[in-house]
Structures are given as structure tokens and as C-alpha cells.
């Protein structure tokens, strides 16, 4: 394995079956274990790969590392559910408020917010949605445009998103097992467990980006809400189902890979087309799920701060998907598994409102550490405009529970101080595997991205309260 240094936190690894680009500062680069390169080489066995890279938050996943961007031409390329991830459409959403940090410094105010949010947003896996009146099939067919008007506070809730409706051939829905509809029906507007969260934060605007921040309606010490969730059972069960379908197809074609968990098929094949169309249905569910979570958060803020309280949308985007995009004057299928698209100002793929400025790229930290709002740079073209999707895990959930104590977790959350980051769990033991010690240093991750000229920081988001699912 040979590493070529291109400078500016950009390395190119010469692997047996192809080249892997890695964007990381020297410290992060040295932390990568050999297993991530083994997984990359297995991925590069998929024929006719155009490009593959890791962002600095890359870490081991199932079949493919989280933090991967992988590209194939649409006309003769491949699609891989393993390079999309099981939580199809998982992503981020940010809403702004008119509140200043000082308005919620009182712990009792934040506790009231947490309690109100839990009233509107189910955080228990066994709790059904509050929105049983919404036709789930309208949502998966039409995304945000499939929601009743009563759940769309204003036009921004439709326009300030990466995509309001992912279009696909609805006839493919006939291939779905009935159990997927059954399980997903009760989950619209629910948070889910693992690393999903709702976080109340305040902003520290980067001095060099004050003008851009103002255009986006951001100001120093502004209170915002960051939401991280995905397609819940719809995407998870779809992913599980098509893992079996692809594996059987690969066996029938005589296609093998050293990693049994890495599955793929030609885009033009029946399996490839079925998966792509159904994946778009999961993307529609995911963006609608975050929308309805945000709707519940809005209701909670109204309960605490009054009926005239509004939460304008800043942006909603995804970091687990495969999208048809035009690069190098031809259509390509860009897989992003734990990677965020960060388009620069003027790029034609930007939504109309953000065409001039470029869109906000939303990067979560880990519970107790900062998150970031970034803006893509023109130089991001070298990585198909992909940046990190978060801090990235440094150790497994099991290892975290073995190595980190609740006392250490409490110190990270500043428990007992005026600056305590409040959480909705009475016992931190239940969410110990999500402590900051489980993740890489997010500041090093952001430094890697900025140093590689992929994106710049617009604002740092400092946590004040977190709502986690169980």
C-alpha cells in the first residue's frame, strides 16, 4: 500500500484494486487502521469505479466504511446498498429561532423545553407517531409534497431542503413486503435510537463569515435546533430486504467478494433499478420524518415561549444515499455513506434560495461537543463536493461501555455547573455508548476538511440541551 501526498490534507492510497483518496490532516490520517483500507480495496473490486474517497470521519461499517464517497457512471456503472447504508436518507436538519442564548440559560427553561419536546416527539421505540392521520403512502411517493397542508407552516419548510420530493417509478412499490408498510406506518415524526438526536444549541459565528451568516439569518448567540434522524423502519427494512435480493443475484451471477456484507449490482439490472427506485421512496420518508419531528419541536417551543414563536427552516440534507448527479459533463451515480454534499456558491445543483450563496452544510459533533454549519468551496469538486458527516466513531459501542465511566460522561456534559448540557435521560448509563469519548475529536475532523479546501466554517454550534431516543 503506497500513499501519495497531494498536499492540503489530501492523500491518495494506491491499493491493489484501485486508488482511494483520503482527506484528513496528518494526525487524523495516522489514526486510520489497516481495516479501513482493506474495506476500501474490497469496494474497489466493484467494476468500473470512477472515484472513491474517505472523509476524515471515516470508520469501519458493514460492507463499507462510514465516510465513503464512491462514484460510477450511470450508463455502465453499479449501485451498492452497502455504500448507501441501512439507514437510507439519514441526515440533518436545522431550524433557527429569534431567541438569544441568554433566553434559555436558566436550566428550568431548558428542562421545560425538553419535557415539551418529548410530549410531541416520541423518543421510545415502542411509542407510535402522533400523526396517524397522515397517509404513509403519500409520503413515500411524494415526500414533503405528500404531507397535508396543515403540517406545513410556511413555504420555507418545502423550499429550504436538499430535495422536497425524490421522484421515482411508483410501480416499484408493489415489490415491497407488506410488513414494511406495517412497521413504518407508526414511525413518521419519531426520533429513533442510536446516534439520532434533537439538540438545542447556540451559535458562534466565524468572523470571516459574518456577511454570509447574516444572509442566512444567523447571528451570534442565536438559539437553533439541530435534528438528526432518518427513514426509520421504512429504510431499514428495505435495506435488509434488498441485501438478501442482491446477495442471491450475485450468487446466481457467480460474483464474489472477500466481504460477504458488500453487495452490488449493475445500475441497469432489474435488481439495480428496483433498489434505486425504492431507495428514493426511503429518501422521501426520511425528509418527511425530520420535517414532522421539527413540526413537533415547533409546537413545543410555542408551548414554552408563546403562540407567536416560529422556527424557520435553515436547511435539511442527507448523508446516506446514492444520487444521480452530473459531473464531468455526464450523469454519474454518487454514493455517499456518512458523507455530506457541500455545494459551493453558484453551483447549479443548489436549491434556488441558496443558488447565489451555496447551501448550509450541517455537521453534527458528538453529545457534549460542538457541531458546525459549513459552506462548500469550489475546490470541493475534487471530492465530488463531499465532506464529513460528523465526528465519526473512534470506538465501538461495546468498547465505549467497557472503557468509559458515567463520571467521565458527566464531566463531558459539565453536570452540576451553570453550563451543564441537559439531557432527557435520568440515567446517563442508558446512553453511555453515545458519549463524546466514543467519537473522534470533531474539531480535528473540521480542521481536516477546511485544510483540504473542501469547505469553510460559517458557525460553531454549542450544545445546551439534548434529546436522545431509546
Contact (Cβ atoms closer than 8 angstroms) between residue 250 and residue 256: yes
Contact (Cβ atoms closer than 8 angstroms) between residue 159 and residue 353: yes
Distance CA 117, CA 105 (A): 17
How far apart are the two ends of the chain, measured CA to CA in Å?
42
SS3 of residue 168 by DSSP? coil
What percent of the chain shows pLDDT beyond 90? 79
pLDDT averaged over the chain?
A: 94
Could you read off the pLDDT of 233-281 as tens digits, one per residue? Answer: 999 999 989 999 999 999 999 999 999 999 999 999 999 999 999 999 9
* For range 172-182, the mean pLDDT: 86
* For range 424-444, the mean pLDDT: 83
Number of CB atoms found within 10 A of residue 181's CB: 16
Distance CA 453, CA 382 (A): 10
* For range 124-150, the mean pLDDT: 88
By C-alpha distance, which of 425, 377, 435 is closest to 405?
435
Q: Are strands 422-423 and 455-468 parallel, antiparallel or unpaired?
A: parallel
**pLDDT over 90 at 40, yes or no:** yes
Confidence of residue 126 (pLDDT cuts 50, 70, 90): low
Beta-strand (E) ranges in 17-105? 18-23, 51-59, 66-73, 78-79, 91-100
Confidence of residue 418 (pLDDT cuts 50, 70, 90): confident
- Residue stretches of the annotated binding site for GMP: 195-199, 319-320, 364-367, 371, 389-392, 468
**pLDDT over 90 at 407, yes or no:** no
Contact (Cβ atoms closer than 8 angstroms) between residue 143 and residue 152: no
- Residue stretches of the annotated binding site for Mn(2+): 87, 196, 228, 319
Distance CA 363, CA 14 (A): 29
Distance CA 83, CA 70 (A): 8
Beta-strand (E) ranges in 274-352? 313-318, 320-327, 330-337, 340-341
- At a CB cut-off of 8 Å and minimum separation 6, what does 64 contact? 39, 43, 70, 80, 82, 83, 85, 262, 337
Phi-psi region of 45 (alpha: psi -120 to 50; beta: other; left: phi over 0): alpha
Confidence of residue 368 (pLDDT cuts 50, 70, 90): confident
Catalytic residues: 389
Domains annotated for the chain, with CATH where assigned, are: 2-394+439-468 (3.90.1860.10)
Distance CA 239, CA 428 (A): 31
By C-alpha distance, which of 189, 279, 175, 292 is closest to 234?
279
Tell me the H-state helices in 306-356: none
- Residue stretches of the annotated binding site: 87, 195-199, 228, 319-320, 364-367, 371, 389-392, 468
pLDDT at position 152 is 97
Residue 400 dihedral angles phi and psi, to the nearest 5°: -60, -45
**pLDDT over 90 at 186, yes or no:** no
**pLDDT over 80 at 470, yes or no:** no
Q: Model pTM?
A: 0.95
Amino acid at each position: 500500500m503506497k500513499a501519495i501526498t497531494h498536499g492540503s490534507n489530501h492523500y491518495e492510497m494506491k491499493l491493489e484494486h484501485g486508488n482511494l483518496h483520503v482527506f484528513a490532516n496528518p494526525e487524523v490520517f495516522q489514526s486510520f487502521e489497516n481495516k479501513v483500507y482493506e474495506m476500501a480495496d474490497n469496494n474497489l473490486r466493484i467494476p468500473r469505479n470512477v472515484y472513491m474517497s474517505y472523509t476524515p470521519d471515516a470508520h469501519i461499517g458493514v460492507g463499507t466504511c462510514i465516510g465513503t464517497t464512491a462514484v460510477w457512471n450511470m450508463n455502465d456503472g453499479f449501485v451498492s446498498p452497502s455504500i448507501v447504508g441501512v439507514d437510507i436518507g439519514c441526515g440533518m436538519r436545522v431550524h433557527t429561532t429569534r431567541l438569544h442564548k441568554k433566553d434559555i440559560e436558566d436550566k428550568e427553561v431548558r428542562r421545560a423545553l425538553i419535557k415539551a419536546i418529548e410530549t410531541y416527539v416520541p423518543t421510545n421505540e415502542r411509542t407510535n407517531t402522533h400523526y396517524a392521520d397522515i397517509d404513509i403512502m403519500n409520503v413515500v411517493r411524494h415526500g414533503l409534497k405528500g404531507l397535508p397542508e396543515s403540517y406545513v407552516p410556511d413555504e420555507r419548510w418545502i423550499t429550504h431542503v436538499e430535495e422536497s420530493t425524490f421522484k421515482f417509478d411508483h410501480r416499484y412499490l408493489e415489490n415491497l413486503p407488506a410488513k414494511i408498510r406495517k412497521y413504518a406506518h407508526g414511525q413518521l415524526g419519531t426520533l429513533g435510537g442510536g446516534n439520532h438526536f434533537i439538540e438545542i444549541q447556540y451559535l458562534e459565528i466565524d468572523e470571516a463569515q459574518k456577511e454570509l451568516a447574516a444572509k442566512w439569518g444567523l447571528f451570534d448567540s442565536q438559539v437553533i435546533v439541530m435534528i438528526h434522524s432518518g427513514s426509520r423502519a421504512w429504510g431499514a427494512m428495505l435495506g435488509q430486504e434488498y441485501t438478501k435480493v442482491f446477495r442471491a443475484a450475485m450468487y446466481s451471477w457467480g460474483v464474489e467478494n472477500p466481504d460477504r456484507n458488500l453487495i452490488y449490482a449493475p445500475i441497469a439490472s432489474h435488481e439495480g433499478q428496483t433498489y434505486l427506485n425504492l431507495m428514493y421512496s426511503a429518501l422521501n420518508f426520511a425528509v418527511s420524518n425530520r420535517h414532522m419531528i421539527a413540526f413537533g419541536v415547533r409546537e413545543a417551543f410555542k408551548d414554552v415561549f408563546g403562540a407567536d414563536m416560529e422556527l424557520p427552516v435553515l436547511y435539511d440534507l442527507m448523508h446516506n444515499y446514492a444520487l444521480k448527479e452530473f459531473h464531468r459533463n455526464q450523469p454519474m451515480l454518487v454514493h455517499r455513506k456518512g458523507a455530506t454534499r457541500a455545494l459551493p456558491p453558484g453551483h447549479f445543483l443548489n436549491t434556488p434560495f441558496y443558488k447565489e450563496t451555496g447551501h448550509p452544510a450541517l455537521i453534527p459533533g458528538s453529545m457534549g461537543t460542538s457541531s458546525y454549519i459549513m459552506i462548500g468551496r469550489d475546490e470541493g469538486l475534487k471530492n465530488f463536493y463531499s465532506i464529513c458527516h460528523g465526528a465519526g466513531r473512534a470506538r465501538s459501542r461495546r468498547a465505549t461501555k467497557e472503557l468509559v465511566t458515567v463520571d467521565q460522561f458527566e464531566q463531558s456534559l459539565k453536570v452540576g455547573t451553570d453550563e451543564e448540557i441537559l439531557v432527557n435521560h435520568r440515567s446517563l448509563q442508558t446512553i453511555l455508548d453515545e458519549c463524546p469519548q466514543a467519537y473522534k475529536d470533531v474539531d480535528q475532523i473540521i480542521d481536516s476538511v477546511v485544510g483540504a479546501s473542501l469547505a469553510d466554517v460559517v458557525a460553531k454550534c454549542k450544545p445546551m440541551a439534548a434529546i436522545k431516543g431509546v
